[in-house]
């Protein structure tokens, strides 16, 4: 999926960069600038790609700051083009946060005069390219190591005993030998092989062996090894959901939302659960859904309820129109539970009589919080 707000913001940043530079801005600069402007507007829009950049660094595939234009012009594969975009995003994050937007704008105007990046660094930043390049590289390495820590398997390191143990654990797990796989991974993390992937494996194996408490510990450790990954957070949210801890699940989904601006499943789940709990994060989830899938029937029902809560005058009619549109799907016998529950909760609060048609089906949800269940029990 795409976040339309992020895409629009990104493209608007391109327009001002091209206008101020009279079309002479280097590609790495304008692409990186658009990414930086996006993340300033909303940190969840940041193009991080730390794992990708980590692997590129490990295999000596990163371009220097002075070579970033070549990274775009001579990308040897789609993956390397993504590396180019991500490196440019990190470069402009560094330049923007270190020197400030006014100097970035001054550089754009300098490009319009036909000046090179090297000339503009000296003129505007007061440093030559080798100096800025070295400072950026030091910052880049420190940031990458802050976001990603622990042992990370390298498929090319065939002689690494840690990789051999890890692959043996994967083979055992694939053969249905969960206990053996867990023993191998336990030994690995107890030594010098502790890291994101072994911990995620241990989390999954602990779940499989019926130990959710141990799984929780492993997923939490995995999250600490990779500050960018939503995978352990989603696993923890699933555990919370299975244990009926909706409040904890919401907390975790909120963390995912702060990292991943493109996910469809997370905001829709968060919206329905927040509505069911009467949680203030409902508005945040509705806003995110409006950026990703505004015409989805669940999103329409959520938007209807949000407009109803804040409506004045004619907006009441808009709230009803949104709910009506959602109902064309919600009232169908094949409607999914997320649509039915969200539409039922919206109808209940808005005083819409169609709640009587939806409430019995919404109450079939085993995950419905007590608060929502009581409201819909009264309405049916």
pLDDT in tens, 95-108: 999 999 999 999 99
In DSSP terms, 37 is beta-bridged to none
Split at pLDDT 50, 70, 90, the class of 48 is confident
Mean pLDDT, range 59-82, rounded to an integer:
93
Per-residue pLDDT, averaged over 342-353, amounts to 96
Stretch (H or E) spanning 50: helix 50-58
- Residue 141 CA to its chain's centroid (Å): 22
Model confidence at 313, in pLDDT bands (50, 70, 90)?
Answer: low
Contacts of 244 (CB under 8 A, 6+ apart): 367
User: Can you tell me the distance from the alpha carbon of 321 to that of 333, in angstroms, rounded to the nearest whole number?
Assistant: 21
The Cα–Cα gap between 350 and 308 comes to: 7
Binned at pLDDT 50, 70 and 90, residue 36 comes out as very high
Residues 100, 41 contacting (CB under 8 angstroms): no
Given pLDDT bands bounded at 50, 70 and 90, which one contains residue 18? very high
Query: Contact at 8 Å (CB) between 363 and 269?
Result: no
Reply yes or no on whether the pLDDT at 45 is more than 90: no
Count of H-run helices and E-run strands, the chain: 21, 0
Predicted structure pTM score? 0.90
| Cα–Cα distance measured from residue 86 to residue 30, given in angstroms and rounded to the nearest whole number | 13
CA distance 291 to 304: 15
Predicted local confidence at residue 69, as pLDDT: 94
Tokens of 160: 């690494």
Residue ranges per structural domain of the chain: 4-147, 161-250, 260-379
Over residues 258-273, the mean pLDDT reads: 93
Is the model's pLDDT at 171 over the cut of 90?
A: yes
Task: Using alpha carbons, list the distances in angstroms from residue 105 to 17, 23, 34, 93, 339.
Answer: 8, 14, 13, 14, 46
In 3D space, the residue among 193, 263, 194 whose CA is nearest the CA of residue 230 turns out to be 263
Of 2-11, 109-118, 167-176, the least confident: 2-11
Which pLDDT score is estimated for 27? 96
The per-residue pLDDT of the chain, averaged, comes to: 95
- CATH number for 161-250 (one of 1.25.40.10, 3.30.420.40, 3.30.70.270, 3.40.50.10860): it is 1.25.40.10
Contact 282, 274 (CB under 8 A): yes
**Percent of the chain scoring above 70 in pLDDT:** 99
Mean pLDDT of 324-331: 98
């Amino acid at each position: 999926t795409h976040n339309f707000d992020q895409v629009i913001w990104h493209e608007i940043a391109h327009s001002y960069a091209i206008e101020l530079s009279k079309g002479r801005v280097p590609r790495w600069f304008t692409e990186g600038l658009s990414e930086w402007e996006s993340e300033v507007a909303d940190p969840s829009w940041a193009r991080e790609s730390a794992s990708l950049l980590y692997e590129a660094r490990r295999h000596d595939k990163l371009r220097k700051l002075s070579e970033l234009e070549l990274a775009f012009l001579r990308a040897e594969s789609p993956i390397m083009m993504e590396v180019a975009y991500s490196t440019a995003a990190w470069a402009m994050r560094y330049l923007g946060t270190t020197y400030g937007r006014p100097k970035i704008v001054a550089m754009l105007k300098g490009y319009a005069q036909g000046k090179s990046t090297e000339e503009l660094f000296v003129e505007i930043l007061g440093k030559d390219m080798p100096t800025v390049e070295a400072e950026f590289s030091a910052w880049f390495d420190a940031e990458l190591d802050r976001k990603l820590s622990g042992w990370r398997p390298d498929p090319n390191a065939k002689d690494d005993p840690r990789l051999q143990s890890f692959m043996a654990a994967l083979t055992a797990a694939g053969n249905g030998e969960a206990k053996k796989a867990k023993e191998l991974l336990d030994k690995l993390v107890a030594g010098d092989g502790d890291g994101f992937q072994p911990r995620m494996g241990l989390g999954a194996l602990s779940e499989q062996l019926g130990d959710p408490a141990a799984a929780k510990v492993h997923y939490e450790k995995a999250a600490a090894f990779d500050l960018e990954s939503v995978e352990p957070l989603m696993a923890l949210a699933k555990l919370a959901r299975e244990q009926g801890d909706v409040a904890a699940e919401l907390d975790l989904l909120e963390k995912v939302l702060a990292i991943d601006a493109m996910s469809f499943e997370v905001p829709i789940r968060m919206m329905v659960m927040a509505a069911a709990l009467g949680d203030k994060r409902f508005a945040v989830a509705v806003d995110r859904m409006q950026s990703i899938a505004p015409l989805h029937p669940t999103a329409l029902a959520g938007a209807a309820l949000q407009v109803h809560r804040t409506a004045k005058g004619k907006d009441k009619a808009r709230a009803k129109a949104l709910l009506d549109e959602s109902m064309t799907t919600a009232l169908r016998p094949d409607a999914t539970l997320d649509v039915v529950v969200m539409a039922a909760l919206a109808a209940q609060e808005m005083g819409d009589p169609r709640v009587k048609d939806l409430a019995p089906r919404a109450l079939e949800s085993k995950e419905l919080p007590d608060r929502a269940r009581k409201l819909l029990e009264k309405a049916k």
